[in-house]
Amino acid sequence: MPQAQRFLLYAEQNYAYAILRPLQTAIRARGGQVRWFLAGDEIDASWLRDDEKQLADIDAIRAWKPEAVLVPGNMVPGFIPGLKVAVFHGFNVAKATRSDDRGHFNIRGCFDLYCTQGPSTTRGFEERAVRHGYFRVAETGWPALDPLFSPDTGPHAASTLLPEKDERPTVLLCSTFTRSLSCAPHLLDTVRRLRDTGRWQWLVQFHPKMDPTVVEAYKALADDNLSYIETDNVLPLLRHADVMVCDTSSVMLMFMVQRKPVVTFRNQSQGDQGHFLNITEPAALKGAIQAALTEPADLMARIDHYVDHLHPYRDGKASERVLAAVDQSLEPNHHVRRKPLNFLRNLKERRKLGYWRC
């Protein structure tokens, strides 16, 4: 089977760097070429590394003619050439406030190939592939987690952003920016009191769109017992921590994939919640963390069962499987229906990117 050689990494948010870089590594390892396109004004170009090549505009992309476009987001313009591949920006947290078709399984008519993370999402996309008929589905695992399970890459090493780990358990607090779901405003005073006991080492990391007043309030808590960390790569924090405190953010599932326990505050996920410890009042936080740190057998068994359906891959090879799926999709004997024209969505993308040519 011939291998694709020219890959465009399409990024709109800073978190895309950590998701796409394992794919970049795999592409380079097989002798392929990589170019980045930073779409819109919400991504910081200064986070590109010296060895990463950027295409400045759509004309440059069309001249380079990528064979595949790898996208950790929900949209990609149809006027960009190449096979459009969805690699996802997070897990399906299945918020009770959204239907499946508005959330993780929203089909927007943009993609030729969905590379899914595990059986729990593969099934949903396969059902929709039959219904729509214009895209393929391949279960690959999530490339963003490859460094988490690869002993020879990045996050196993101590990050310069992290405090030195001591004998105390480490608790990582993460939170979504969605005001109605966020645990951060509700837990501020409780975290301050628990920090002051010195019993645990605290790490705090929030979504980049978090309310700045909340961010500043937590930054003000920083001392020898608590570190507020701003980073485009949460994986070193996930490895460093023993327990996570979260809400209804998909980062909790990234943590749980390591077979580590999570305490949630007023979680609003659909379905069974037996694979994490949920609390509804700040006063219950201390006891829940203590319980999580003991890793009770029944909780860990439920985590194992959940993770086997969410993301069973622990070999650090999801990126290679994505590339294999791309190669298969580019074979000339592969036929699917034509994608919808998506006139309105592409018009919005043209306006955003300032591109009006045919």
Statement to judge: residues 34 and 124 lie in one domain? yes
Is residue 358 a part of any domain in this protein?
A: no
pLDDT at 145: 97
pLDDT at residue 156 tops 60: no
Statement to judge: residues 127 and 172 lie in one domain? no
Work out the pLDDT band at 158, boundaries 50, 70, 90: very low
Question: The domain that contains 303 carries what CATH number?
Answer: 3.40.50.12580
Domain boundary among 276, 293, 310: 310
pLDDT at residue 119 tops 80: yes
Is residue 344 a part of any domain in this protein?
A: yes
Statement to judge: residues 230 and 320 lie in one domain? no
What ranges in 2-52 are assigned the alpha helix state H?
16-29
**In this prediction, what percent of the chain has a pLDDT beyond 90?**
79
Q: Mean pLDDT, to the nearest integer, of 22-27?
A: 98
Statement to judge: residues 256 and 333 lie in one domain? no
Statement to judge: residues 102 and 224 lie in one domain? no
Q: What is the pLDDT of residues 262-306, one digit of tens each?
A: 999 999 998 888 999 999 999 999 999 999 999 999 999 999 999
Statement to judge: residues 166 and 196 lie in one domain? yes
Statement to judge: residues 162 and 142 lie in one domain? no
Q: What is the pLDDT of residues 169-181, one digit of tens each?
A: 999 999 999 999 9
Statement to judge: residues 185 and 125 lie in one domain? no
Distance CA(286)–CA(279), nearest Å, equals 10
Q: Structural domain tally of the chain?
A: 2
Statement to judge: residues 203 and 222 lie in one domain? yes
Is residue 1 a part of any domain in this protein?
A: no
Q: Mean pLDDT, to the nearest integer, of 1-28?
A: 95
pLDDT at residue 61 tops 50: yes
Contact 117, 91 (CB under 8 A): yes
pLDDT at residue 92 tops 90: no
pLDDT at residue 344 tops 90: no
3-state secondary structure of 339: coil
Q: Which residue's structure tokens are 């295409």?
A: 55
Is residue 123 a part of any domain in this protein?
A: yes
Q: Mean pLDDT, to the nearest integer, of 136-159?
A: 77
Is residue 340 a part of any domain in this protein?
A: yes
Statement to judge: residues 50 and 143 lie in one domain? yes
Work out the pLDDT band at 154, boundaries 50, 70, 90: very low
Q: What value does the CA radius of gyration of the chain take, rounded to a whole number of Å?
A: 21
pLDDT at residue 102 tops 70: no
pLDDT at residue 48 tops 80: yes
Is residue 170 a part of any domain in this protein?
A: yes
Question: The domain that contains 118 carries what CATH number?
Answer: 3.40.50
Q: What is the pLDDT of residues 222-273, one digit of tens each?
A: 999 999 998 878 999 999 999 999 999 999 999 999 999 999 999 999 888 8
pLDDT at 106: 87
Work out the pLDDT band at 103, boundaries 50, 70, 90: low
Is residue 200 a part of any domain in this protein?
A: yes
Domain that holds residue 166: 154-310
pLDDT at residue 100 tops 80: no
Q: Mean pLDDT, to the nearest integer, of 40-57?
A: 95
Work out the pLDDT band at 342, boundaries 50, 70, 90: confident
**In this prediction, what percent of the chain has a pLDDT beyond 70?**
94
* Contact residues for 138 (Cβ-Cβ < 8 A; gap 6+): 113, 114, 115, 116, 321, 322, 325, 328, 329
Work out the pLDDT band at 157, boundaries 50, 70, 90: very low
Q: What is the pLDDT of residues 308-339, one digit of tens each?
A: 999 999 999 999 999 999 999 999 876 678 88
What ranges in 198-262 are assigned the alpha helix state H?
212-219, 235-240, 251-256
Statement to judge: residues 231 and 211 lie in one domain? yes
pLDDT at 168: 97
pLDDT at 96: 45
Helix axes 212-219, 184-197, angle to 10 degrees: 0
Statement to judge: residues 300 and 321 lie in one domain? no
Distance CA(206)–CA(7), nearest Å, equals 30
pLDDT at residue 97 tops 90: no
Is residue 61 a part of any domain in this protein?
A: yes
Q: Which long-range contacts (CB under 8 A, 24 or more apart) does 126-129 make?
A: none
